[in-house]
Structure 1
Amino acid sequence: MPSTRPRAAVVLSRALRHDVFGPTGWAELTELADVVAECEDSRALSLHPRRHEAEVLITSWGMPRLTEDLLRELPSLRTVVHAAGSIRKLISEAVWARSIVVVSAADANNEPVAEYVYAQTVLALKDVHRRAHRIRSEAELPPLDGIPGIYGQPVGLVSFGSAARKVAARLRHLESDVMAWDPHVPPETLRRLDVTPVAELDELFTRSRVLSIHAPLIPGRTEKLITGELLRRLPQGATLINTARGAVVDEDALADVLRERPDVYAVLDVTTREPLPPDSPLHALPNVMLTGHVAGTVGAERRAMGRLVVEELRRIAAGSPPAHAVSAHASLLRA
């Protein structure tokens, strides 16, 4: 057992606490940390009589931004452990200004994302999406001509963060020609992982039978990064998969391209607005699958994030640095 139990404030709804930790994980957490405040939201935290003692703040989805005003109520805070993926909506400049260590469970959240992309890639290369629609609409069995099959096919990854790395590792089983475009990752790093670096984004689109988007949404930089011009470069029979952020894709242009190119299929787990407005043309297009933000952790999958949080608390209690700390710079590059 560690000699020092950090004082922790936990801001989670009861339902989310159950999903992320369960009875076993919660028992481990309370053994490792002295939970001085257990709150359902940030307002309850800001009024809690022991808020000033909290050295560690444990959060997840739904936690409002850690503004300077809220941080004033947490003078002892040294570490934020976020039991979710991206920290972008949670962390303000005030957090970095106070040199607070920020830990994200994105690595655990990205495991099911990678499984989802792998599964959709297999379905795409088996032409399952289009065939299922044709069987339903035409009541006939389509021919097998033109189906590429799952082995040795070119798959492109837009950005190469944690989720994309996990996707690439899974695709090795399919002997895929995995390519990636990421201006922040050195080409030699990609080559060491058996991934072909592609310098220009338009080239990646031209070469990819399946193209999976993993780029973060950085205001003013990656909004509508995926343009209609790029989408029109996709080869015949290509499939686009987006599990990153909807606004990275120009959705109006995507709808236009999908109307023009019935051979192209789009699997969209994320959209710019969620839920997608009822009048969006993406609802009616036959070459679109909308899966409603299910790629990330759901149900029992969330326990993996809880286990990561517990392990990070174990390191903190032992005086060791967290394994999943995120720097201010790196936070801009996460989806």
Structure 2
Amino acid sequence: MFYRPQSAYFLRSDALEKIYSKSEQARIGELTQVYPTQLTLDNWRDHRESLSQVEYLLSGWGMAVMDTELLDALPNLKYVFYGAGSIREFYTELAQEREIGISSAWRANAIPTAEFALATIILSLKQFWRVQRKAKQDRKWQKPLHAAGTYQSTVGIVSLGAIGRKVAQRLSQEHELNLLAYDPYVSVADSSIDGLRMVSLEELMASSDVVSLHAPNLPETRGLISQSLLQSMKPHATLINTARGDLIDEPALVQLLKDRPELDAVLDVTLNEYENQDSPLWDLPNAIITPHIAGSINGECQRMGALMVDELERYLSGLPLKHNVSSQTLARMA
């Protein structure tokens, strides 16, 4: 009889079909013997005596911290296929010591984020947000006097990770812009991004018509966009953040937007996103806030699941993995 290793789903109860479509679940069932109950943070301890044969976890949002309690219940666990982005909150040093590998769908999640950032950059260069507000207020047809436009204006990309690199490549290929980038881990610009120039963060912030943030949320990047950098922004510029709210000194940003109403900030992320009802940003007309929609939402999430099922198939076939997270990659991930 053909041997199929045992797998289990471990993720938030509402995330299974959002990430793993019915067809992908069928593929997983062909490749492995799936544990009959989806594991969640609330129920996994009820099954701990039955998990000894599980070798692979198909996961996503709601994965448990891989601590001693969990890993002792999964003594034969070999690999985790994580159908979402960051793994920092649950993938532990203990899991690494026990040589449990992990793949993440962060590159798939980078696609919609880059698409959103690209669209937002173009709209910002046209001062869409400002024009829309004024047109609605005045009920009058008037083009923006200070919009940089998309020809020979300057866009600054902070961090050339998976998302920032995609944004820079698309801008380089499709638009005639001056592209600046800051990334302390990149000393020479990628030759695939025509015309990109690596500069200091200070030069990027002071020279760009639009600044787009794509840095990971690490101890060394929290508050990266400081008060002095914010104050250096050129007149009529736009700051876009699709990364993490922690990157910006938010009180300084609030004061900047008050003091310089000609600036705009497009924020898909803020500090304390789900508890920020009292943030003064809501009251500022030049702060455009969206509810963390840049990353994968709705049907886009199934791209992440498909990527992980492909990865599972490669693993079981003995092929090199495409999305394995090495210790070096982990050190720079969000």
Q: CA-to-partner distance for each residue in 1:65-124, whole Å, 9 max, x for gaps?
A: 222221111111111111101111121111122222110000111100001001101110
Identical-residue share of aligned pairs (%): 37
CA distance in 2, matches of 1:106, 1:178: 25
CA distance in 2, matches of 1:68, 1:186: 40
Superposition map of 1:278-289 within 5 A: 278-289=277-288
CA distance in 1, matches of 2:118, 2:225: 21
Question: Do the aligned residues in 1 keep the contact of 2:131 with 2:144 (CA within 8 Å)?
Answer: no
Q: CA-to-partner distance for each residue in 1:228-275, whole Å, 9 max, x for gaps?
A: 111111111111111111111111011011111111111111111012
Superposition map of 1:1-335 within 5 A: 5-36=4-35, 38-48=37-47, 49-172=49-172, 173-188=174-189, 190-194=190-194, 196-219=196-219, 221-335=220-334
Unaligned runs of 5+ in 2: none
Question: Do the aligned residues in 2 keep the contact of 1:168 with 1:195 (CA within 8 Å)?
Answer: no
**Which stretch of the first structure deviates more once superposed, 77-86 or 137-146?**
137-146
Moved over 6 A (4+): none
CA distance in 2, matches of 1:7, 1:320: 19
Question: Do the aligned residues in 2 keep the contact of 1:33 with 1:313 (CA within 8 Å)?
Answer: no
Question: Do the aligned residues in 2 keep the contact of 1:45 with 1:51 (CA within 8 Å)?
Answer: no
CA distance in 2, matches of 1:179, 1:20: 35
What amino acid is aligned across from residue 25 of structure 1 in structure 2?
A: E
TM-score w.r.t. length of structure 2: 0.93
CA distance in 1, matches of 2:108, 2:152: 28
CA distance in 2, matches of 1:10, 1:182: 37
CA distance in 2, matches of 1:14, 1:195: 46
Question: Do the aligned residues in 2 keep the contact of 1:4 with 1:317 (CA within 8 Å)?
Answer: no
SS at match of 1:39: coil
CA distance in 1, matches of 2:110, 2:68: 30
CA distance in 2, matches of 1:4, 1:109: 33
What amino acid is aligned across from residue 123 of structure 1 in structure 2?
A: L
CA distance in 2, matches of 1:276, 1:251: 14
Question: Do the aligned residues in 1 keep the contact of 2:158 with 2:215 (CA within 8 Å)?
Answer: yes
CA distance in 2, matches of 1:300, 1:195: 35
What amino acid is aligned across from residue 277 of structure 1 in structure 2?
A: N
CA distance in 1, matches of 2:70, 2:112: 33
Across the aligned residues of Structure 1 and Structure 2, the Cα RMSD in angstroms comes to 1.8
CA distance in 2, matches of 1:120, 1:297: 16
CA distance in 1, matches of 2:236, 2:264: 7
Q: CA-to-partner distance for each residue in 1:122-174, whole Å, 9 max, x for gaps?
A: 11011100011112223333334332222332111111111111111221211
What amino acid is aligned across from residue 226 of structure 2 in structure 1?
A: T
* Per-residue deviation, 1:333: 1.4
CA distance in 2, matches of 1:142, 1:317: 61
Question: Do the aligned residues in 1 keep the contact of 2:13 with 2:38 (CA within 8 Å)?
Answer: no
Q: CA-to-partner distance for each residue in 1:22-78, whole Å, 9 max, x for gaps?
A: 211111121122213532413533332431111111111122322222111111111
CA distance in 2, matches of 1:152, 1:106: 32
Q: CA-to-partner distance for each residue in 1:266-288, whole Å, 9 max, x for gaps?
A: 11111110125222110000101
CA distance in 2, matches of 1:20, 1:281: 35
